[in-house]
Structure 1
Amino acid sequence: MSGESFSLLIIGGYGAFGGRLAQLLGEEPRLRLLIAGRSLEKADDFLADMRSPKGGAGRLGGNDLGARLQAVAFDRDGDLEEQLTRLRPDLVVDASGPFQTFRQDAYKVVQACIDLDIDYADLADSTGFVASIGELDAQAKAKGVFALSGLSSLPALSFAALEAMAPHFSRIESVAAGIAPSPHVKIGLNVVRAIASYAGKPVAVLREGRQAKGHGLIDEMRVTIAPPGAAPLASRIFLLVDAPDLALLPRRLNGLQSTFTGVGTEPQALQRLLSAAARLVRLRLLPSLLPFSRLVQAASHRFAIGDHRGGMFVRLGGLDRQGRKLNCGWHLVAEGDDGPFIPVIGVEALVRRLLEGRRPENGARPAAGELSLADFEAAFRRFSITSGIRLDREEEALPLYQRILGSAWERLPPALAAIHAGGARIATGRARIERGGGLLARLVARIFGFPPAAADVQVTVRFATDGDKEVWTRSFGNKSFQSWQAEGKARDRHLLVEVFGPFRVLLALVPEGDRLRLVVRGWRFFGIPLPLFLAPGGDTYEEERDGRFHFHVEIGGRLTGLVVRYTGWLRLEG
């Protein structure tokens, strides 16, 4: 400790990630936060914004009870010993970069910290930088300090997820991980430069248990990020990126056969253009995409199209404890502007541990496995972030809704779980039906056979199984209509598919307290995707009230207005 407070120097403290770390820690009165960068003016401006009630950080650190904030000039290419001796930090966090571009004296900041008995951590995502920091391990141990590299999404969070899933396996054969940033997040120039530095160039991966060459932003994998109980992100292609996990995983897992780390950005059309440019580098028609970094960044800002949601996944494949094939995935979805805080949550957790007197072991090493998934999840609660694990055993014959919900199935109230328990069954009850009055709404209702308006009518629902499908026959009085439901495949994975004739509606199952919401995520006509903003939708949910299953279903759209709304209750017969 320095005096009465813990002194934390954040290099790149007013940048995209350093600034967010300062926001997370700005409310902590035990801290002295040194916001550092080459420009003292920019550091001062950042702190002025933090202290402003209207600033994004003002909510966290702008009051008199928060951290002591100080802007300082810091040049990593200057006299590091003089600067660090003058500032006297207890911990240095390097949030600058891009670490991929560090060549000579790449570890000069780390070395200076070790020489001056200062602990060190960074947000590096460079494979070479993170994987080789262990060369300084003996020096750090001799000095009684720690130096942790890569305390970010990859590899710190990805390895925390891996460790949480590993007990399900007797052998892990494949590991894939990826990040899907929200298209509305302003990606920093250093991040773009880091990716551009290896676009189209060889990236070391494992294939069939052997070292192989992938190619940055060219090799691909399709993944649907879908935490149990949350609306999935749109299925997307992830392009290979050079992340520390690729070097660290073979050290951690004996017998590992394949590895992949990727990024999946929206809009996908822009990502395909970037991949095409990477192919020009591979063909040696371009030396590098680095000169185009500003153009790529500007294009990502200009074409910010899609939901303001981001996510991350870690997927394992192998054998379970009984020797059966098992796939297991950890999924995360972050809403709105909360996603960009994820890369700095690991450092925040480290700092709070230090304030409680819990130090990591001395030495220099990658941060993979340094924090547990529980450490991250505790921080996620401050944000609109949902995460969870899905187990996929092909031989398990689980009910349809249980397969889609995964572990979120356990959160369903008993009345809802009973209705969706699978198998042939009959439920009866009462319903109120409202119909839209527009010409197009009446035409749609007639085509699908929706029942007429009624204040109180007998309702019977017959459930039948047909292979992996459930057939629902709904009878309101003497009027019946039918649909079938199944689990989505390929790009529709983790969604409920409900089919009415030539129309296929894709629904996310989202538990909310005693309710299960059905949220429309897409629709098709004879397999042809249709615009989501024209999709039939409305406020549709199931809930338990007084121990009984209740339903509230709305079907309508922008063109039709309300088509039908039926509400009521059901109970299982027999």
Structure 2
Amino acid sequence: MSGDRFSLLIIGGYGTFGGRLAQLLGDEPRLRLLVAGRSLAKADDFLADLRSPKAGAGRLGSNDLGAWLQAVAFDRDGDLVEQLTRLKPDLVVDASGPFQTFGDDAYKVVQACIGLGIDYADIADSTGFVAGIGGLDAAAKVRGTFALSGLSSLPALSFAAIEAMAPEFSRVDAVAAGIAPSSHVKIGLNVVRAIATYAGKPVAVWRDGRKASGRGLIDDMRVVIAPPGAAPLRSRNFLLVDAPDLALLPQRFAGLQSSFTGVGTEPQALQRLLALSARLVRLKLLPSLMPFSPLLQRASHRFAVGDHRGGMFVRLDGLDAAGKSLTWGWHLIAEGDDGPFIPITGVAALVRRLLQGIRPEAGARPATEELQLADFEAEFRRFQIATGIRRENEAACPPLYQRVLGSAFERLPPAIAELHSVGQAGGARLASGRARTERGGGLLARLIAGIIGFPPAGEDVPVAVRFAADGETEIWTRNFGGKTFRSLQLEGKGRDRHLLAEVFGPFRVLLALVPDGEKLRLKVRGWRFCGLPLPLFLAPGGDTYEEERDGRFHFHVEIGGRLTGLVVRYTGWLVVE
């Protein structure tokens, strides 16, 4: 400890991830935070912005009451012993990179820290660097220090998710993990360079129970990221990336059959172009994508389209205790600019544990067993981040809404959960109540309402709804004062996975089920006409939700669009008979 404060040196402290770590820890009064980089001027400018009230909003408390912040110059190619001796850190965090390009003397910072008895951690995502740090284990133990590598999304967070799910399995056969950054996040050049190093090059993976050669940024898998209770990300392809998990997983699971780590970027068209470029490298028509890293970075910034949301998934396939096939998936979605904070939440959790006197064992190793999922989730509470685990292949067939919502179904108010607890095939329920209906006046709105059979406008109309389960489909038959119309509801498949699909004649509307306090909101995420996808901005929408009020189920359904205006709105209550 330096005086009364714990001294933390962040190498790359004003960079993409080091800067965010400084933001996340800047409100901690027990810290002396040294923001380091080659340019002292850039470090000073960064801290000036960090100390501003605007920077602190929502992330940091008052810096007068928070960490003691200092900008310092640090050159990893200079005299490391002299610099570290002068700065006297208790912990060094290397947030620079790309670790893939550190060369023959890749561990010189780690070795200098160990030699001086200084603890070390990094957010490396280089397979070779993370897997090889164990070569310094004996030296670290002699000095009584720890050196933890890979305290990032892959492998620290992914392994924490794996360990949360593994007890449910008697055998794990396959592990897949992937990161889906928001297209609106400004990706740092070092991140792009790291990816470019293995584009089109062989990547060591596990297939059919043995080591095999994958194709970087070419091999792929399609995944829908959908934490229970959150609107899913759009289905996307993930391209194979070289991550430490690929080397570490076979050590964790004896008999592992396959492994995959990937990245799924938006827009997908740009990612397909990246995959094509990787194929040119594989065919030796290009030596490498490294020279194109600045161009790739600019392209990712220029084509920032789509939702400002990012995510991550980890999936395990294997057998349960009874020997039956089992698939579980851990999912994460981060809203807006919160996604880039995820890779440094592990370091933040480590620092907070150190401040509480909880210290890792001495030694040098990959950071795959240091933190539990709960440690990360404690850091996630500062952000708009939703996480959860889904059991993907239930042996039984639970009610439709429970299948779509997963564990979030348990959080529904009782009146909503009761109404949607239609049994398995052959089950049916009836609910009745009163409603108020409104109809749009436009010609197209009247035409659509007539085709589907929506009820006419009315006040205090008696309403009855019959819910019938037919296999994996529910048939909803609604009767408003003698006017009947029907729709089919089912769970989306393939690209529409984890969405509720409601079918009205030739139209299929895709809905995300999102619990919101006492309400269950239904948000339109897409629609089809005779199976053909239609533009989302033209989709029928409106404020549609269910809620519990005074212990009774209430509904508010609004259907309309840009072209039609209001088609129909009906609100009211139901009681299950």
Instruction: Pick the TM interval, shorter chain.
Output: over 0.9
Alignment of 1:106-121 (within 5 A): 106-121=106-121
Aligned to 1:449: 453
Matches within 5 A, 1:360-439: 360-422=360-422, 423-439=427-443
1:197/1:290 contact within 8 Å kept = yes
Supply the distance in 2 between the matched residues of 1:55 and 1:64 (Cα, whole angstroms).
14
The reply on whether 1:263 has 2:267 as its aligned counterpart is: no
2:544 counterpart of 1:554: no
Matched residue of 1:483: which SS? strand
Residue 39 of structure 2 is matched in structure 1 by: 39
Amino acid corresponding to residue 53 of structure 1 in structure 2: P
Query: SS where residue 60 of structure 1 aligns?
Result: coil
1:339 corresponds to 2:343: no
Question: Could you tell me how far 1:58 is from its partner in structure 2?
Answer: 9.0
Letter of the 1:548 partner, please give it: R
Given that 1:50 and 1:61 are in contact with CA atoms closer than 8 Å, whether structure 2 keeps it comes out as no
| Residue of 465, 490, 493 corresponding to 1:489 | 493
What's the counterpart of residue 161 of structure 2? 161
Aligned to 1:544: 548
Gaps (5+ residues) in structure 1?
none
Q: Could you tell me which amino acid in structure 2 is paired with residue 153 of structure 1?
A: S
Displacement, 1:394? Answer: 4.2
Q: Secondary structure at the match of 2:301?
A: helix
Deviation of 1:232 (Å): 0.2
Between the aligned partners of 1:394 and 1:379, the Cα distance in structure 2 is 31
Q: Match of 2:178, SS?
A: strand
Q: How does 1:46-57 map to 2 (within 5 A)?
A: 46-55=46-55
Hey, what does 2:171 align to over in structure 1? 171
2:464 match: secondary structure: strand
2:262 aligned partner, one-letter code: G
Counterparts of residues 127-142 of structure 1 (less than 5 Å): 127-142=127-142
CA distance in structure 2 between the partners assigned to 1:149 and 1:229 by the alignment: 33
What secondary structure does 2:319 align onto? Answer: strand
Determine what percentage of the aligned residue pairs are the same residue: 80
Q: Name the CA distance, whole Å, in 2 between partners of 1:562 and 1:382.
A: 38
Cα pair 2:24 2:59 within 8 Å, conserved: no
SS in structure 1 at match of 2:339:
helix
Q: 1:553 to 1:514 in 2, by over 3 A?
A: same
* Distance apart, 1:62 and its partner CA: 5.0
User: Counterparts of 2:319 and 2:466 in 1: how far apart (Å)?
Assistant: 39
Matched, 1:297 2:301: no
Determine if contact 2:519/2:546 at 8 Å carries over to the other structure.
yes
Q: Distance in 2 between matches of 1:143 and 1:378?
A: 31
Return the offset for 1:464. Answer: 1.5
Quote the Cα distance in structure 2 between the aligned partners of 1:97 and 1:124: 7
Determine which of 526, 531, 538 is the counterpart of 2:535. Answer: 531
Q: Which AA in structure 1 matches 2:321?
A: R
Give the whole-Å Cα distance in 1 for the aligned partners of 2:222 and 2:31: 43
Shift of 1:533: 1.0
Tell me, yes or no, if structure 1 residue 503 matches structure 2 residue 501.
no
Distance in 1 (alpha carbons) for counterparts of 2:531 and 2:189: 40
The one-letter code of the counterpart of 1:35 is: V
Contact 2:511 2:524 in 1 (8 A): yes
Larger CA deviation: 58-67 vs 84-93? 58-67
Number of the residue aligned with 1:211: 211
Cα distance, 1:54 vs structure 2: 2.4
Instruction: Deviation per CA, 1:39-68: give whole Å up to 9, x if none.
Output: 111001000101112236795165211111
**d(CA) in 2 for partners of 1:366, 1:542:** 47
**Is this contact kept in 1: 2:436–2:461, CA < 8 A?**
yes
- 1: CA distance between counterparts of 2:445 and 2:466? 26
CA distance in 2: counterparts of 1:527 and 1:458, whole angstroms: 34
Q: TM-score with structure 2 length normalisation?
A: 0.98
CA distance in 1, matches of 2:551, 2:5: 54
In the alignment, what sits opposite 2:102? Answer: 102
Residues 76 and 402 of structure 1, relative CA distance in 2, 3 Å threshold: same
Structure 2: distance between partners of 1:182 and 1:321: 38
CA distance in 1, matches of 2:563, 2:56: 39
Count matched residues. 573
Correspondence for 1:463 = 467
Task: Describe the superposition over 1:212-243 as per-residue Cα deviations: whole angstroms up to 9, x where unpaired.
Answer: 10011000000000000000000000000000
Whichever residue aligns with residue 558 of structure 1, its letter is: R
CA distance in structure 1 between the partners assigned to 2:440 and 2:381 by the alignment: 41
Where 1:32 maps in the other structure, the secondary structure is: strand
- Tell me if the contact between 1:52 and 1:62 (Cα under 8 Å) persists in the aligned partners: no
- 1 CA distance for matches of 2:331 and 2:140? 35
Correspondence for 1:276: 276
Equivalence for 1:70: 70
Q: 128-137 or 410-419: which moved more?
A: 410-419
- Whether the aligned pair in 2 keeps the contact of 1:50 and 1:62 (CA below 8 Å) is no
CA distance in 1, matches of 2:72, 2:378: 31
Aligned partner of residue 132 in structure 1, secondary structure? helix
Partner in structure 2 of residue 5 of structure 1: 5
